[in-house]
Each structure stands twice: as C-alpha cells, then as structure tokens.
Structure 1
Amino acid sequence: MNTALVLVDLQMDYFAGGRNELVQADSAVARAQEALSLFREKQLPVVHIQCILLEENAEFFLPDTDGIRIHERVQPQSGEKVIVKHTPDSFFRTELQQHLESIQASRLVIGGMMSHICIDSTVRSANRLGYEVVLLGDACATKDLVWKDTLIPAQTVQDTFMASLQGTFAQVVDTGRLNDLI
C-alpha cells in the first residue's frame, strides 16, 4: 500500500500576526513537522496544499501576500508536490487526485488547518474517492466559533470534528503513533 502525506494549508495567515490566527497553530505545525520528517526519512511521497483565495471579499490567503506562504517548519523540498487550491476541499478543481493516482497512493496521512473546514472537507472527499485516511488530530488546528451568539471554544470545535471524522471517514491518531502505521 502506497502512503502519501498531505499537509493542508499550513500557511502564515493562520499563525500569530496573520489575518486569521488559529488556536494552537504552533503546536499543530510542530506535529506536522514531525510527520514530514518521518516521511522524508522513509522517502515516502509528500504533498503540500496551498490555499490562495480569489473571491473579492476574501479576508485572508490573499494573492501576493505573506499570508499565503507555507510555514518555514514545513517548507516543501525539491521533489515534493505543491498543489494550489482556491476552495476548502483540497480535491475540488485541483490536480490532487490525478497526482495521487500517478504515484499510486491508496492511503493518505493528512494534517493541517482548519479542522472544521479544510480538513473536514478534504478528509471526507478522500474517503469518498476511496482512499484510506489516517488523520493526525494533533497536527490540526482550528479556532473559536460563534453559533447563535454562543462562543464555541476552539478545543470543543477540534474535539467535535475529530470525533465526527473518526471511524467513518478516517482513523484519527496522534502523530506519535505514525511510525507504527507507515
């Protein structure tokens, strides 16, 4: 079984000083860096997803801004595929599926940001397309949300989305277990 690492939207706008700072972004990128190091060590394929929003009313990931840069802890190296997307789903109108087919990947290890939007939509699409998905829960981050004038803390959002993806759409694990799985 060919396994590929897919790192989603680990970009500067999600970190301190960015246009859409997430809770525990530094911790998530540190775990993503661990996974990336392991994949590089084992010479397994890596795909970096970079979001650039083109809508007129977009508030972050704007073209030609520092915010779209991939975080320095997980910078792509030569030979690692970078795929640009313009919507939350990493598969929608991108070359991701074609690339994964070209490298004969059947299992994806996914980490990145934001858990409640881009990770959720990407994991569900990967599952629908027939990939086995391992989701690195501790290599993902999200933010506080508001619903009906009620603040939903980021940790609650994170836990809810990991719980909803676990089992049906992915195997959700901590990065520390990854070496045993690949």
Structure 2
Amino acid sequence: MSKHALIIIDIQNDYFPGGKWALEGADQAADNAARLLTAARARGDLVVHVRHEFESADAPFFTPGSAGAQIHAKVAPANNEPVVLKHNVNSFRDTPLKSTLDDHGITALTIVGSMSHMCIDAATRAAADFGYDVTVAHDACATLPLAFHSKQVTAADVHASTMAALAFAYAKVVATDDLLAH
C-alpha cells in the first residue's frame, strides 16, 4: 500500500473563466493537476479532493449548493476517492482530512490546487507541521493579483512569493514534469 497521497485543493468551477472568482492560470494549473491525478491513480496512491464551500449564501464565491462550488470536471473525483468539504482556508481545520490520511498510513503528500497564497499555503504549512513530507507542484496551482495599500502585486508575483516561502521551510516545490519523471 502506498504511503503517498495527492491532495487536490479547491479546483472548483468558480475559479475558472466565467466563474465568480476567476484566477489567472486556472486552466493550465488544472491541466497539470489532472496529469498528476492520472499518475497517482495509476500508482494506487490515495487521492483526496478538498472542496471549499462558504456557509453563507451571500459569499463572493463558492456559495452553498452552487455550480461554482463544485469540483471542476478536469479533476473530477472517482467514486472511491474521498471528498473533504471545508469551510475555512486551512483544509485540515474542522475537517476529516488528517484522519483520512492517517487511516491510510500516509506519510507523504503532493499538494495542488488553488489559491496559491491562501488554501495551498495554509494546507502546506499545516501538513508540514503535522509531520508529513510535503511536495507542492507549483505549476498545478493558481492564484490572482492582489493589492496591499498602494502596491499592486501581479498574480505571478503572488504565486512566486508564496512558492518561495513554502520552499524555504515547508515543502519541496517542483514542476509537474519533474514529479512525473520520478
């Protein structure tokens, strides 16, 4: 039994063009996540899908029961793959994610999804703090531009800054092609 799991976080319809909160590079990130998903299934790795849904109907995106809150077809779960519903940024907070991983004897994770600077960052840090060996496929993650006071930050810079911070102390941060080559 594999000790590795692929965690696919928040690759949901609202993050794609035409959705309520479209991210830059969502399609390319999902395509890379789908490649990793195919490989994980072929290896027999545990695959866990994490889906964010806000608890209020007046949320800016991922509203309860909406099509936008559903997992995107590119990474649709197979019947036997667990789907974890979360209501917070951190996929481990108030969810069965950790117990699911532990029940399967998982020691190593590959994390992909959205948004790089929020849910990917939070899950990666939490996973490392829980003692998992964590890898992030940086090109299977997407984000959007941000602003801080008068400073405008491009999506590419938000993503690069987040990945640099995670690579410093929390995870191996690698490209999808490199993961698939090993």
Confirm or deny a common fold (TM above 0.5).
yes
SS of corresponding position for 2:107:
strand
| Matching residue of 2:166 | 165
**Residues 1:149 and 2:154 are matched in the alignment:** no
Unaligned runs of 5+ in 2: none
Identical aligned residues as a percent: 37
Name the CA distance, whole Å, in 1 between partners of 2:64 and 2:58: 13
The Cα shift of 1:165 comes to: 0.2
Distance 1:114 1:21 in 2: 10
What is the CA distance between 1:150 and its match in structure 2?
2.0
The residue aligned with 1:135 is 136
Match of 1:119 in 2: 120
Q: What residue in structure 2 maps to residue 49 of structure 1? A: 50
Residue correspondence of structure 1 range 87-102 to structure 2 within 5 A: 87-102=88-103
- CA apart distance, 1:157: 0.4
Partner residue in 1 for 2:27 = 26
TM value normalised by structure 1: 0.96
1:12 paired residue number: 13
Q: Classify the secondary structure of the residue corresponding to 1:104.
A: coil
CA RMSD of aligned residues (A): 1.1
**Equivalent residues of 2:57, 2:64 under 8 A apart:** no
Equivalent residue number for residue 63 of structure 2: 62
Distance 1:129 1:55 in 2: 30
TM superposition score normalised by structure 2: 0.96
Contiguous gaps of at least 5 residues in structure 1? none
Distance 2:29 2:50 in 1: 15
> What secondary structure does 1:80 align onto?
coil
Q: Which has the larger displacement, 86-95 or 171-180? A: 171-180
